[in-house]
C-alpha cells in the first residue's frame, strides 16, 4: 500500500512472543491487536500471525507479530520465528515460578542462536491475580535489568501494561533502526520484502515477484510490479 | 441394538439369485481421482502390519520434492530450501543431532525433569478411583495408548495416570504373548472385545462393547497410531524411544490429547473414517471449477504440495502437485486438526503436520486460514518449505479475493446453509438412509440424518447397523457381494462391487425385490447428481 503521506518513513519489524504454555501470550496479543479479552482463547497450534500498524515519532510502524505455541512439541519450531525477529516479548505468568524460570532458558537460547540485534521485553502477565503471585516484581525487574530487557507487568484480562509494553518496544525498535539504518540485520523472509529489515517502504522497495500468477487479481492496487 | 439373530439372506453372486441388480457404471467413478484410492479396510491385516513395520520408513516424498525444487533453476536467491538446513539448529538443545530435519524436528530435551517411573502406593490408590468408577466402566468404547514398557500415554476416558495398573496389565499380556514368539490380537470377554495393536514402541488397545468388529477396531487403532505420527513423525517417535525406552511421551503430546479425543468422536459418528473415504460439500461443478482455478492461478508455488478447502468436515476442493496424491486417511487427520483447533479461528496460523501416508518421516508446514467471517471455510496450504509463510499468506489473499469476485465464497456459504440433501429427494419411499462410496475416487455421499434418526441414541443405533453391515460384507473369511438383512426395526441391504460400496437402510417391511428395485433407482439418482456430490476431476498445479 502506498501512502498518502509521502514524507513519512515506514518501518516493518518482526516481533516474536515466547513463553511457556498458558502464560497468556495469545491473550496479550489479542488484547493489543484486537482490543479485547476472550476467556475462551484456546492453546495455540504452531504459531499465529498478527499485524499491527501505528504511527510513532514520525514513522509508520508495522509490527508483524508471531505468537508462538508454548506446548512442548512446538518448542523446536521456535528458532524459525526468533531467528528473524527484531524484538522478543518474553512472557511468564506471575503466579507460576516455573514459567519465570523458563524465561531464563529462552534467553540462553536466544543468546546462543541470534546474532543480530534483538530488543527484549520481559512481561509478567496475569498481574490481576496478585493474591496468587509467586514471582515478585522486584526479582523480575532485577532480572530484566541484568539481561538489558524492558520489563512490564501486564494483565490481558484487565488491560494493564500491554499498550505501554508494545509502545516502549516500538520506540526501542525505532532507536535500533536509527542506530543501524543500513545494517543488513536479518532479512525478511518474504522475497517480496527482502530489503533490509527496516526498509524505507515509502519507495516500496520490492523485488520482482515470483513467477506465479499470470494475472494477479488487482486487489487494492497490489504492487508486485512485474 | 442392531438386529441380531434374524434371518439373513446372503447372495454370493450378484446375477443368479439377485438377477435384477444391475451393476453397470459406478456413479462417482473417475479415472482422474483426486485422492489415493485404496481399500485399506480389506488390506488391514496383522500380517500386513508386521510387514509394514519391517520395512524402513521411506523418507522419500518430502525429500524428493525438496530435492527437485532445489534443482530447479530458480530466481529465488534463497539458499536451497531444504528442511535439513533448519533442523540442525532446531535441536538447539544439548544434543547435537546429525539428522536431517525432515526426519526429526522433535528431540526430547535432555533434562532430567521428566516424570519418574512411579507406581507408588498413592498412585495406585487414586487409580482405583478411575478403574472402579462405574461411570468409567460403563463407557462404551475405551482406547488406550501406552509405551512398550507399560507407561501410560493416553486414555480416552479417565486420566491416564490414574490407570497405571490397568495399563500395566495390558503391557504384561502383550509381552507375555510376545515372549512366546506370538502376537496378541484380540480377546473377547463377555460383551467386551479387546483389540491390540503393537507398533514401534507403542501399544494401542481398544475396548468396545458396541457393534464394532475386531477388524474395525483395528482400523480405528491405526487411525489413532497415525494421529500420534501426525503429531511427532515416525522418525522422532523411534528416535525418542531408542534413546530412552522409558521416556514419558505425554510430555511431547501435551495439548494433543484433544486431537485423540476428537478423532475418536469423529470415528463414532462420521462414516468416512470407516469407509476410508471423504465426503464432499455439494456444489455445482462449475463453481467447484472456479474455486480450483482460483487456487491454481494464485498458489502455483514451487514447494506447495496440496491446497485444499474444508468446510464442516467436508472437502470443497483439493489441488495437488502432479505425481502426489493425498490419502483419505491423511485427509481425515487434516480434517481432525482443523476440527479440533479453535485457535485457527483467531489468526492465520502456521503449523507443522506429518501426513503418515504421504511421508511418515517428516513434517509438512500448513498455512491455515479461514476465508469467511463465520470461520467455516478453511483454506489449507501445505508446503515443504518452512520459510514460505509470507508467500502463502499472499497467495491466500489473492485466492480469497478471487473467490469473492466470482461469488464462489457465497456459493459455498449457500451450500452450507442448505444442508446436504434429504433422503426424500432421491424419490424412494421406503429408503431411510444410505452410504454410498465410489471406490475409485475414495469419496462417499450420504443424506442428512432425519427422522427416525434425529436423536443421538438413534443415530448411534444407525451407525451400529452400518458397522454391522460393513463388517458382514467385508468378513475376510467369506467376502460377500450382497447382503440382505431383515432386522426388527429396519431392513438393511449392503452391496459391494468393483466400483462402489453401498449400504442402505429401509423400513422393516420392504421385500427383497422392492429393495433391489429401490437400490437400482438410487444408483440412477446418484449418477444424475454425481457432478454435484463428487469431485470427478483432479486439478493439479
Ligand atoms: N486472570 C488472567 N488470566 C489470563 C490472563 N491472560 C491469559 N489468561 C488466561 O490464561 C489462559 C491461557 O491463555 P493463553 O492466551 O491461551 O496462553 P498462551 O500463552 O497463548 O498459551 P499457549 O498458546 O498454549 O502457549 C487462558 O485461560 C486465559 O484466559 C490475564 O491477564 N489474567
Ligand atoms: Mg497461545
Using DSSP, state whether B471 is helix, strand or coil.
helix
Q: Is A218 within the bounds of a domain?
A: no
Counting the structural domains of chain A, the total is: 1
Selected for mutation to probe chain B from A28, A217, A223 (highest B CB count within 10 Å) is A217
Say what the pLDDT of residue B451 is.
86
Q: Is B350 within the bounds of a domain?
A: yes
The phi, psi pair for B293, rounded to 5°, reads: -65, -35
B503 and B471 Cβ atoms separated by less than 8 Å: no
| Residue A42 to residue B142: CA distance in whole angstroms | 26
Residue with grid cell 504454555, as numbered in its chain: A21
Say what the pLDDT of residue B398 is.
96
The CATH number of the domain holding residue B484 is 3.30.450
The CATH number of the domain holding residue B326 is 3.30.450.30
Question: Which of B418, B441, B456 is the last residue before a domain boundary?
Answer: B418
Same domain, B402 and B443: no
Q: Is A47 within the bounds of a domain?
A: yes
Q: Is A203 within the bounds of a domain?
A: no
Same domain, B388 and B510: no
Q: Is B148 within the bounds of a domain?
A: no
Q: Do the chains contact at A219 and B397, CB–CB below 8 Å?
A: yes
Residues in chain B predicted with pLDDT less than 50, given as ranges, are 1-8, 10-19, 73-104, 110-127
Most ligand 1 atoms within 8 A of CB, residue of A16, A18, A22 to mutate: A22
From the list B91, B297, B337, which residue is nearest A214 (CB)? B297
Same domain, B454 and B396: no
B77 contacts on A by Cβ (under 8 Å): 191, 194
Question: Is the torsion defined by CA of B452, B455, B457, B463 positive or negative?
Answer: positive
Q: Residue with the nearest Cα to atom 24 of ligand 1?
A: A43
Q: Is A205 within the bounds of a domain?
A: no
Q: Is A72 within the bounds of a domain?
A: yes
Q: Do the chains contact at B350 and A46, CB–CB below 8 Å?
A: yes
Same domain, B365 and B437: no
Q: Is A211 within the bounds of a domain?
A: no
Q: Do the chains contact at A113 and B89, CB–CB below 8 Å?
A: yes
Counting the structural domains of chain B, the total is: 2
Same domain, B495 and B426: yes
- Detail the DSSP E strand segments found in A86-136: 87-93, 119-125
- ipTM for the predicted complex: 0.81
Same domain, B397 and B447: no
From the list B105, B337, B366, which residue is nearest A76 (CB)? B105
Q: Is A217 within the bounds of a domain?
A: no
Same domain, B283 and B396: yes
How confident is the model over A165-182, as pLDDT tens digits? 999 999 999 998 888 765
Selected for mutation to probe chain B from A73, A78, A113 (highest B CB count within 10 Å) is A73
Q: Is B305 within the bounds of a domain?
A: yes
Question: Which of B396, B418, B440 is the last residue before a domain boundary?
Answer: B418
* Nearest-by-CA chain A residue for B259: A45
Question: Which of B418, B436, B459 is the last residue before a domain boundary?
Answer: B418
Same domain, B382 and B441: no
Same domain, B343 and B411: yes
Residues in chain A predicted with pLDDT less than 70, given as ranges, are 1-7, 181-226
Q: Do the chains contact at A49 and B389, CB–CB below 8 Å?
A: yes
Using DSSP, state whether A22 is helix, strand or coil.
coil
Q: B506 lies in which domain range?
A: 2-29+422-533
Q: A59 lies in which domain range?
A: 2-190
CA distances (Å), B448 to each of B375, B406, B421, B434, B505, in order?
Answer: 22, 28, 6, 10, 13
Say what the pLDDT of residue B72 is.
56
Q: Is A223 within the bounds of a domain?
A: no
Same domain, B411 and B432: no
How confident is the model over B282-307, as pLDDT tens digits? 999 999 999 999 999 999 888 999 99
Same domain, B325 and B372: yes
Same domain, B318 and B385: yes
Neighbours of B4 (CB within 10 A): 9
C-alpha cell at B124: 495406585
The CATH number of the domain holding residue A157 is 3.40.50.300
Q: Is B125 within the bounds of a domain?
A: no
CA distances (Å), B439 to each of B328, B474, B501, in order?
Answer: 11, 14, 7
Amino acid at each position: 500500500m502506498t501512502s498518502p503521506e509521502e514524507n513519512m518513513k515506514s518501518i516493518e519489524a518482526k516481533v516474536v512472543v515466547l513463553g511457556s504454555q498458558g502464560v497468556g501470550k495469545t491473550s496479550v496479543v489479542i488484547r493489543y491487536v484486537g482490543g479485547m479479552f476472550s476467556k475462551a482463547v484456546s492453546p495455540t497450534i504452531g504459531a499465529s500471525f498478527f499485524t499491527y500498524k501505528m504511527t510513532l515519532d514520525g514513522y509508520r510502524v508495522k509490527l508483524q507479530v508471531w505468537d508462538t505455541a508454548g506446548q512442548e512439541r512446538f518448542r523446536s519450531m521456535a528458532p524459525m520465528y526468533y531467528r528473524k525477529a527484531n524484538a522478543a516479548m518474553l512472557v511468564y505468568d506471575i503466579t507460576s515460578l516455573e514459567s519465570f524460570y523458563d524465561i531464563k532458558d529462552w534467553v540462553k537460547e536466544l543468546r546462543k542462536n541470534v546474532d543480530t540485534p534483538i530488543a527484549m521485553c520481559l512481561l509478567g502477565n496475569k498481574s490481576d491475580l496478585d493474591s496468587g503471585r509467586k514471582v515478585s516484581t522486584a526479582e523480575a525487574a532485577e532480572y530484566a535489568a541484568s539481561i538489558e530487557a524492558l520489563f512490564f507487568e501486564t494483565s490481558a484480562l484487565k488491560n494493564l501494561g500491554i499498550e505501554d509494553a508494545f509502545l516502549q518496544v516500538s520506540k526501542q525498535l525505532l532507536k535500533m533502526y536509527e542506530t543501524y539504518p543500513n545494517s543488513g540485520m536479518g532479512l525478511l523472509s518474504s522475497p517480496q520484502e527482502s530489503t533490509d529489515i527496516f526498509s524505507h517502504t515509502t519507495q516500496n522497495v520490492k523485488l520482482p515477484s515470483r513467477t506465479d500468477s499470470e494475472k494477479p487479481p488487482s486487489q487494492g492496487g497490489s504492487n508486485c510490479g512485474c | 441394538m442392531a438386529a441380531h439373530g434374524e434371518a439373513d439372506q446372503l447372495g454370493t453372486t450378484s446375477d443368479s439369485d439377485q438377477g435384477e441388480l444391475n451393476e453397470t457404471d459406478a456413479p462417482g467413478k473417475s479415472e482422474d481421482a483426486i485422492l489415493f484410492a485404496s481399500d485399506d479396510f480389506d488390506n488391514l491385516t496383522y500380517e500386513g502390519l508386521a510387514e509394514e513395520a519391517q520395512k524402513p520408513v521411506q523418507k522419500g516424498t518430502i525429500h524428493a520434492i525438496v530435492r527437485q525444487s532445489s534443482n530447479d533453476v530458480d530466481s529465488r536467491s534463497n539458499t536451497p530450501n531444504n528442511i535439513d538446513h533448519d533442523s540442525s539448529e532446531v535441536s538447539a538443545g544439548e544434543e547435537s543431532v546429525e539428522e536431517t530435519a525432515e526426519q526429526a524436528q522433535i528431540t526430547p530435551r535432555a533434562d532430567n525433569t521428566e516424570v519418574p517411573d512411579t507406581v507408588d502406593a498413592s498412585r495406585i490408590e487414586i487409580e482405583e478411583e478411575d478403574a472402579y468408577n462405574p461411570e468409567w466402566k460403563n463407557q462404551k468404547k475405551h482406547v488406550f495408548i501406552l509405551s512398550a514398557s507399560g507407561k501410560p500415554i493416553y486414555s480416552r476416558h479417565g486420566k491416564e495416570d490414574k490407570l497405571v495398573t490397568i495399563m500395566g496389565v495390558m503391557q504384561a499380556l502383550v509381552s507375555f504373548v510376545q515372549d512366546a514368539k506370538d502376537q496378541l490380537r484380540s480377546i473377547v470377554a463377555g460383551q467386551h472385545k479387546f483389540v491390540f495393536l503393537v507398533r514401534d514402541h507403542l501399544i494401542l488397545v481398544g475396548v468396545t462393547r458396541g457393534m464394532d468388529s475386531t477388524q474395525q477396531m483395528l482400523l480405528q487403532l491405526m487411525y489413532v497410531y497415525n494421529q500420534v505420527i501426525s503429531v511427532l513423525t515416525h522418525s522422532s517417535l523411534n528416535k525418542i524411544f531408542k534413546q530412552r525406552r522409558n521416556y514419558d511421551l505425554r510430555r511431547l503430546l501435551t495439548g494433543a490429547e484433544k486431537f485423540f479425543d476428537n478423532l475418536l468422536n469423529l470415528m463414532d459418528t462420521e462414516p468416512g473414517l470407516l469407509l476410508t473415504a471423504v465426503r464432499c460439500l455439494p456444489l455445482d461443478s462449475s463453481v467447484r471449477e472456479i474455486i480450483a482455478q482460483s487456487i491454481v492461478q494464485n498458489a502455483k508455488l514451487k514447494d506447495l504440495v496440496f491446497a485444499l478447502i474444508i468446510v464442516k468436515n467436508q472437502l470443497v476442493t483439493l489441488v495437488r502437485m502432479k505425481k502426489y496424491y493425498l490419502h483419505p486417511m491423511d485427509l481425515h487427520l487434516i480434517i481432525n486438526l482443523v476440527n479440533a483447533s479453535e485457535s485457527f479461528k483467531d489468526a492465520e496460523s502456521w503449523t507443522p503436520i506429518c501426513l503418515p501416508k504421504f511421508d511418515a518421516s517428516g513434517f509438512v508446514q500448513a498455512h491455515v486460514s479461514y476465508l469467511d467471517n463465520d470461520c467455516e471455510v478453511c483454506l489449507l496450504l501445505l508446503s515443504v518449505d518452512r520459510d514460505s509463510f509470507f508467500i502463502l499468506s499472499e497467495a491466500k489473499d489473492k485466492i480469497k479475493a478471487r473467490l469473492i469476485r466470482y461469488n464462489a465464497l457465497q456459493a459455498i456459504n449457500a451450500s452450507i446453509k442448505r444442508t446436504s440433501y434429504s433422503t426424500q429427494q432421491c424419490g424412494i419411499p421406503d429408503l431411510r438412509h444410505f452410504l454410498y462410496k465410489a471406490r475409485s475416487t475414495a469419496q462417499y455421499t450420504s443424506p442428512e440424518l432425519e427422522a427416525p434418526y434425529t436423536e443421538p441414541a438413534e443415530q448411534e443405533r444407525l451407525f451400529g447397523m452400518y458397522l454391522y453391515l460393513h463388517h458382514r460384507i467385508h468378513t475376510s473369511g467369506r467376502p460377500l457381494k450382497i447382503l440382505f438383512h431383515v432386522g426388527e426395526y429396519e431392513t438393511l441391504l449392503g452391496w459391494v462391487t468393483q466400483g462402489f460400496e453401498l449400504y442402505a437402510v429401509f423400513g422393516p417391511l420392504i421385500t427383497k425385490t422392492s429393495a433391489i428395485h429401490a437400490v437400482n433407482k438410487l444408483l440412477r439418482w446418484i449418477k444424475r447428481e454425481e457432478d454435484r456430490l463428487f469431485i470427478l476431476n483432479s486439478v493439479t498445479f
